[in-house]
């Protein structure tokens, strides 16, 4: 006669001791599918939360740092100008030259600062 | 009167007067004639679009219509976009809405007509309306200025013309080219060995260079308080207006020269440095812009990192003897 408290242990152990290989494969497959489903759900949640956070941050920054009253930032092409000073992607920043100036080795034909 | 002369072994220089200053072009000898014609067309184009002193310019018509929306030419729209971009880049230190302030200081005519001075008194401090008050719509090329506001694009339009002319000439002819409009210089295409030489003048009343540097790309511009100054009644004033006061910027630097990615950016930085005064050196260093600053009394020259040592000038807070 078994004590009533031992019954759950026996019920739990029984499939392990008596399951055939096919049943074990089926159980393992079920556990794997369940884990993959949980992982997929978590991944989807993270993606949705990230997108929501990026959107909220964008709205916050747009309100905190308003630009001037331009209704659009589309630049205007004009005539044959191909690389005007204001039409580049870095138009509203001040950037150093791609190569620093050097000491001149020839007499200067033009002068800056005297007119 | 335009002139052409040899400036280096393979380079030639073309010089003419335009936009109230001297326009210069340096390029290969074989391309000089065609390049000079393209430069002349570019100068006429920017003058017609952005001159404050021509009654028939697009800018004059826009300024006279302040308070209502106006459709403007592509050239003027581009010049305004650039001016607003530089205002944003300098946090408002270089602001195109200084037109009314310029008039209050007497600069309402071509500078050649100011040399004898104008009658009047120094006006009271009054901040300019500010670049954020200008509304633009790129789709319709529409611009609306607040009432009692006028634009002065002198700080950026000349530099824009230099950038545009250099790029246009290089694109069309394939040669390396340097365009300088009143000392605001832009280089495009392959530079000669050693770069394009540019003299840096300190004295403001003379084009005699204190030193010479060379650039291979981008732009170089100088701003100063000595060249374009005039007498307003008993006061001396100059053309660089502090947007915060509507008056000529307090003189700290006689000349500031800056090298940058484009001539427009170099011009905006050098002008902003004049307005900033003592804080200019730190500001330029933070932006990593090679620069040369000459104190208003001429006793000190300060250079930031990236500016070459020529051996001809004082460097880094070294007092003149």
Instruction: Establish if A110 touches chain B: CB-CB under 8 angstroms.
Output: yes
- Please choose, from the candidates A41, A78, A25, A85, the residue with its C-alpha nearest in 3D space to the C-alpha of residue B221: A85
Q: What digits encode the pLDDT tens for the residues B211-227?
A: 889 999 999 999 988 77
Residue of B nearest to A107 (CA): B197
Mean pLDDT of B15-24: 87
> Judged by CB atoms within 8 Å, which residues 90-109 of A form the interface with B?
90-109
Q: What digits encode the pLDDT tens for the residues B154-168?
A: 879 999 999 999 999
pLDDT at B211: 85
Instruction: Please tell me which residue, A12 or B248, carries the higher pLDDT value.
Output: B248
Query: Rounded to whole angstroms, how far apart are CA atoms A32 and A37?
Result: 9
pLDDT at A88: 45
Q: Residue-wise over A18-50: b if at least 16 C-beta within 10 A, else e?
A: eeeeeeeeeeeeeeeeeeeeeeeeeeeeeeeee
How far apart, in Å, do the first and last CA atoms of chain A sit? 113
- Beta strand B21-28 with B11-18: parallel, antiparallel or unpaired? antiparallel
What pTM, to 2 d.p., does this model score? 0.74
What region, left, alpha or beta, does residue B150 occupy, with left being phi > 0 and alpha being psi -120 to 50 degrees?
Answer: beta
- From B180's Cα to the closest Cα of chain A, the distance in A is 7
Q: Do A87 and B260 touch (CB under 8 A)?
A: no
Residues of A in contact with B204 (CB under 8 A): 113-114
- Name the residue ranges covered by the structural domains of chain A: 11-64
pLDDT at A65: 53
What is the residue whose two structure tokens read 């210089």? Answer: B185
> Judged by CB atoms within 8 Å, which residues 145-164 of B form the interface with A?
156, 159-160, 162-164
Mean pLDDT of A50-75: 59
Q: Is A69 a residue whose pLDDT tops 60?
A: no
Q: Is B234 a residue whose pLDDT tops 90?
A: no
pLDDT at B7: 46
Query: Rounded to whole angstroms, how far apart are CA atoms B19 and A112?
Result: 16
- From A43's Cα to the closest Cα of chain B, the distance in A is 41
Nearest to B163 among A80, A84, A98 (CB): A84
> Judged by CB atoms within 8 Å, which residues 47-86 of A form the interface with B?
67-86
pLDDT at A21: 80
Residues of B in contact with A89 (CB under 8 A): none
Q: Do A96 and B306 touch (CB under 8 A)?
A: yes
Q: What digits encode the pLDDT tens for the residues B33-70?
A: 999 999 999 999 999 999 988 889 999 999 999 999 99
Q: Where are the alpha helices (DSSP H) in chain B?
A: 32-50, 58-64, 74-89, 99-104, 154-173, 263-276, 280-286
Mean pLDDT of B245-257: 90
Q: Is A36 a residue whose pLDDT tops 80?
A: yes
Q: Is A12 a residue whose pLDDT tops 90?
A: no
Q: Do B8 and A107 touch (CB under 8 A)?
A: yes
Q: B4 φ, ψ to 5°? A: -130, 135
For chain B, what is the domain count? 1
- Please choose, from the candidates B186, B209, B210, B160, the residue with its C-alpha nearest in 3D space to the C-alpha of residue B27: B186
Q: Do B139 and A72 touch (CB under 8 A)?
A: yes
pLDDT at A84: 43
Instruction: Please tell me which residue, B41 or A45, carries the higher pLDDT value.
Output: B41
pLDDT at B269: 96
Instruction: Please tell me which residue, A114 or B184, carries the higher pLDDT value.
Output: B184
Instruction: Please tell me which residue, B316 or B204, carries the higher pLDDT value.
Output: B204
Q: What digits encode the pLDDT tens for the residues B94-135?
A: 999 999 888 888 777 777 777 777 777 888 888 999 999 999
Q: What digits encode the pLDDT tens for the residues B167-199?
A: 999 999 999 999 999 889 999 999 998 899 998
- From B138's Cα to the closest Cα of chain A, the distance in A is 6
- B172: domain range? 3-319
pLDDT, chain A, mean? 67
Query: Rounded to whole angstroms, how far apart are CA atoms A95 and B159?
Result: 15
pLDDT, chain B, mean? 87
Q: Is A78 a residue whose pLDDT tops 50?
A: no
Q: Do B310 and A104 touch (CB under 8 A)?
A: yes
- Beta strand B247-248 with B241-242: parallel, antiparallel or unpaired? antiparallel
| Domain at B301, CATH number | 3.10.520.10
ipTM: 0.85
Instruction: Establish if A18 touches chain B: CB-CB under 8 angstroms.
Output: no
Mean pLDDT of B276-282: 95
Residue of B nearest to A68 (CA): B132
Residues in chain A: 115
Query: Rounded to whole angstroms, how far apart are CA atoms B195 and B217?
Result: 8
Residues of A in contact with B259 (CB under 8 A): 96-97, 100-101
- The pLDDT > 90 percentage for chain B reads 63
């Amino acid at each position: 006669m078994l004590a009533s408290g031992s019954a759950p242990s026996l019920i739990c152990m029984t499939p392990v001791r008596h399951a055939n290989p096919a049943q074990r494969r089926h159980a393992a497959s079920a556990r794997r599918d369940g884990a993959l489903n949980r992982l997929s759900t978590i991944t989807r949640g993270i993606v949705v939360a990230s997108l929501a956070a990026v959107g909220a941050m964008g709205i916050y920054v747009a309100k905190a740092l308003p630009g001037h009253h331009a209704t659009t930032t589309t630049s205007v092409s004009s005539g044959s100008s191909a690389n005007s000073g204001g039409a580049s992607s870095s138009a509203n920043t001040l950037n150093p030259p791609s190569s620093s100036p050097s000491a001149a080795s020839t007499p200067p034909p033009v002068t800056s600062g005297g007119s | 009167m335009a002139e052409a002369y040899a400036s280096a072994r393979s380079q030639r220089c073309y010089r003419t007067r335009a936009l109230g200053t001297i326009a210069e072009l340096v390029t290969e000898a074989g391309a000089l004639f065609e390049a000079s014609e393209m430069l002349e067309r570019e100068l006429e184009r920017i003058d017609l679009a952005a001159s404050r002193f021509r009654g028939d310019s697009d800018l004059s018509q826009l300024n006279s219509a302040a308070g209502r929306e106006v459709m403007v030419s592509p050239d003027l729209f581009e010049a305004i976009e650039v001016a607003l971009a530089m205002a944003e880049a300098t946090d408002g230190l270089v602001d195109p809405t200084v037109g009314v302030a310029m008039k209050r200081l007497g600069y309402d005519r071509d500078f050649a007509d100011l040399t004898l001075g104008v009658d009047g008194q120094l006006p009271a401090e009054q901040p300019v309306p500010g670049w954020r008050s200008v509304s633009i719509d790129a789709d319709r090329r529409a611009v609306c200025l607040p009432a009692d506001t006028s634009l002065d694009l002198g700080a950026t339009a000349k530099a824009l013309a230099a950038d545009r002319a250099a790029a246009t000439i290089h694109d069309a002819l394939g040669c390396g080219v340097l365009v300088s409009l009143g000392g605001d210089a832009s280089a495009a295409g392959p530079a000669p060995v050693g770069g394009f030489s540019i003299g840096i003048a300190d004295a403001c009343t003379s084009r005699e260079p204190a030193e010479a540097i060379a650039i291979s790309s981008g732009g170089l511009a100088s701003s100063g308080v000595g060249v374009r100054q005039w007498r307003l009644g008993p006061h001396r004033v100059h053309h660089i207006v502090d947007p915060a006061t509507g008056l000529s910027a307090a003189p700290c630097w006689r000349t500031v020269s800056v090298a940058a990615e484009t001539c427009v950016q170099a011009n905006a930085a050098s002008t902003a440095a004049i307005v900033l005064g003592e804080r200019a050196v730190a500001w330029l260093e933070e932006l990593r812009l090679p620069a040369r600053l000459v104190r208003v009394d001429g006793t000190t020259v300060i250079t930031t990192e990236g500016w070459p040592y020529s051996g001809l000038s004082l460097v880094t807070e070294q007092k003149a003897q």
